[in-house]
Structure 1
């Protein structure tokens, strides 16, 4: 999340000043996509650089000035300031150098794939073989997660110091929680596809995984935000939905609890539901505080640049997953649950309020969904970014919440609507996956200045 370089409270860094002295073309940044390209130098041979605005200029200056300390251009390629990262004929790099730009945002891929497997399992209209397809997607997701984890480890072994830089970077660092979001989808998918109802050992194993996940993600939520508060200083105009990500993993503890609680013994189910509700509440309220900043940023600085507008779909996730968790955890309580044994606050009353709260939150997700759709459609991104996966995973939670509400009311018409929504989401998954693979092949990502390890908005 790059600071506005025209802000008097955010002066140029030492590297940027050095670059400015050695360049005849100044570097500018803007945060409102509605600003005219006339404010930026236009290369008539490459007009897309003017259209990119902040991304083109800021990313290019980061490369030329060695802003990120990567030295990709300087170390033996001889292109220096002449490298245009948006030029189709730009030099191609080898795997080792490209691994230097393999960021935490890659885990948005298994995160979305795991969400897809859960959505397949939850479909209200099943047909023979659909569960087998979901199982296949689940297995593919396990393979993807393993491969990406090994690749990330390879990056850290080949490029010493990258681990700390990746966590402390003002943009890439916010994608670190996507690793744990991928773990959350693996835990829930494992419960759906791999845990038999009568296997006591595996039931206890999934319960252990839940409690371990709660502890680790609580440490992450407190630790990462404490680090951000101490080490970074962001202006309101730079606010992006990725600021919500550190609280997202602990929030999904509620979703995990909603999935596993009804398979646990009664003595274990109640603590799981209470812990899940606590984590869900923590995540939702922190997200709501972030929403206040997000709306303030949109009101004062306008929409993000077109290349990063798909990230607005992240705002759909917190209320949607909370609505899903409310209904799931209420249904996961033992049928004979009665807190005071007086018939006043019993499981039926809790389930009623869970449905009411879920509908309230579902409406908030719907609002954010349409805000994001209008923003993206009005100015579609031109270049692939891993943030495109935000158009998949948060919307998976939205559809799952819709399915849960439809199931509670037994409304068949809404169930068919969710089937159509699921088909659209699968099409979006294929669309993003195609562009993801293409971007890797043509080196539009894993390339200097084109990934989340550079501040370009």
Structure 2
């Protein structure tokens, strides 16, 4: 039997032809790498040099994101029809939000490494606020238009259920998560609108995701587990309750007690923080259950799991689970929970290293970015 490398030499596929198959799913790499930078920044137990490592990962992700943007632009120039069709092809189009989510984690990284534990600066706080509102508008337009396209314009029926369906809702839901991260550093007159909008977006994204979780579980019960190489995608649903935990606790913590509604309702902030904490504990166990199902599915066929870009689902959803665990630990003042969060962060770093190695190896061997082997293979 010929290896992928031998087959690649035989077919002689050039760089130009390979760039035609640089799909939106590649941005799951930057989405996850940026998420890793956030997890490193939020780790409760830090050692000397961890901040530097986090900054390096954050900057590396920005470089990677710009590179991917350049490669996607090359795809547009080389093959405009295929690029245009990528927005309506079910297999690829649902990965477009990974581009938007990459912007979200970059914004979150700027907040953590530039404001929260960085040099700060009034101009940066203002810039983050402006970019936040731009992102909020862009993500809402995307989630409306993308689901509309597949409800009304897709000729094929029925569409096979795929975990990537969660990503448009995630792009909106992460607005709430970013709001929880940036609100605390904003002036009170800007903080309240950010918290309110973040709550609305998070609730909207969570309700969409919850409906999809029901569809996802129904599909598993009716059709069984997906093929081994696609099973890492089963981690994607974990992000819905996990990032909701981060948003609820972070927004409640950022409430300005001496401004507006919260000034005239003195107990509102304490009530919101209490409800946020116990609702988060309620959601945490759901995240853990989804994690166990996905993990068992992958372990069952681990030897058959050839690399696909869906492997990056090992990282991004679990970033939310880890940071959500840490946030609960902070609220409960539980050192044990915080150590669990730190241990999970170490595991996340190891998995990221595995994914980056496997991704580079798959590219060099022609397993991805190759005719007939990517999300655009049915175009």
* Deviation sequence 1:164-218 (CA, Å, 0-9, x none): 1111111001100000000000001001112367622221110000000000010
Say whether the 8 Å CA contact 2:262–2:269 is kept in structure 1: no
Contact 1:197 1:263 in 2 (8 A): no
CA drift at 1:125: 0.5
Q: Return the TM-score normalized by structure 1.
A: 0.79
Q: Is the 8 A contact 1:338 1:347 kept in 2?
A: no
Q: Distance in 1 between matches of 2:62 and 2:177?
A: 19
Which structure would you say has the larger Rg?
A: 1
Q: Can you list the C-alpha shifts for 1:319-377, whole angstroms capped at 9, x where unaligned?
A: 10001110011111113357375546421111110101111111111111001001111
Is 1:253 aligned to residue 253 of structure 2? Answer: no
1:289 and 2:220 equivalent? no
Cα separation, partners in 2 of 1:198 and 1:137, compared to 1, 3 Å = closer
Q: Which residue of 1 aligns with 2:227?
A: 305
Q: How has the CA–CA distance of structure 1 residues 92 and 345 changed in structure 2, closer, same or farther, with 3 Å as cutoff?
A: farther
Contact kept in structure 2, 1:406 and 1:414, CA below 8 Å: yes
SS in 2 for 1:161: helix
What CA distance in whole angstroms lies between the structure 2 residues aligned with 1:289 and 1:374? 23
- Kindly state the Cα deviation for residue 389 of structure 1 after the two structures are TM-superposed: 0.2
Q: Quote the Cα distance in structure 2 between the aligned partners of 1:272 and 1:212.
A: 12
The corresponding residue for 1:408 is: 331
Conservation of the 8 A alpha-carbon contact between 1:85 and 1:449: no
**Deviation sequence 1:238-297 (CA, Å, 0-9, x none):** 211111111111100011101100000001000000000100001000011111111111
Q: Secondary structure at the match of 1:235?
A: coil
List aligned pairs for 1:24-35, cutoff 5 A. Answer: none
Partner of 1:369: 291
Please give the alpha-carbon distance, in whole angstroms, between the structure 1 residues aligned to 2:186 and 2:308. 40
Out of 384, 399, 415, the residue aligned to residue 307 of structure 2 is 384
Aligned to 2:86, the other structure's residue is in SS state helix
SS of aligned partner of 1:276: helix
- Farther-moved stretch of structure 1 (342-351 vs 407-416): 342-351
SS at match of 2:94: helix
Question: How far 1:105 sits from its partner (Å)?
Answer: 0.5
- Find the aligned partners of 1:311 and 1:427 in 2 and give their Cα distance: 18
Name 1:276's counterpart in structure 2: 198
Deviation at 1:439, TM superposition (A): 0.7
Is residue 329 of structure 1 aligned with residue 242 of structure 2? no
The answer for the alignment partner of 2:270 in structure 1 is: 348
Does 2:367 match 1:440?
A: no
Is it true that 1:314 corresponds to 2:236 in the alignment?
Answer: yes
Match of 1:427 in 2: 350
Unaligned runs of 5+ residues in structure 2 are: none
Matches within 5 A, 1:32-431: 90-195=10-115, 199-232=121-154, 233-235=156-158, 238-336=160-258, 339=261, 341=263, 343=265, 345-380=267-302, 381-431=304-354
CA distance in 1, matches of 2:109, 2:320: 14
Quick check: 1:224–1:246 contact (8 Å CA) kept in 2? yes
The runs of 5 or more residues in structure 1 that have no matched partner are 1-44, 49-83
Q: Residues 415 and 167 from structure 1, CA distance in 2 versus in 1: closer, same or farther, beyond 3 angstroms? A: same
Greater displacement, 204-213 / 288-297: 288-297
CA distance in 1, matches of 2:365, 2:265: 64
Question: Shift of residue 88 of structure 1?
Answer: 6.8
Counterpart CA distance in 1 for 2:325 and 2:378 is 36
Aligned to 2:307, the other structure's residue is in SS state coil
Deviations 1:88-146 (A, max 9, x none): 76523110000010000010111111101111111110111111110111111110000
Backbone CA RMSD of aligned residues: 2.0
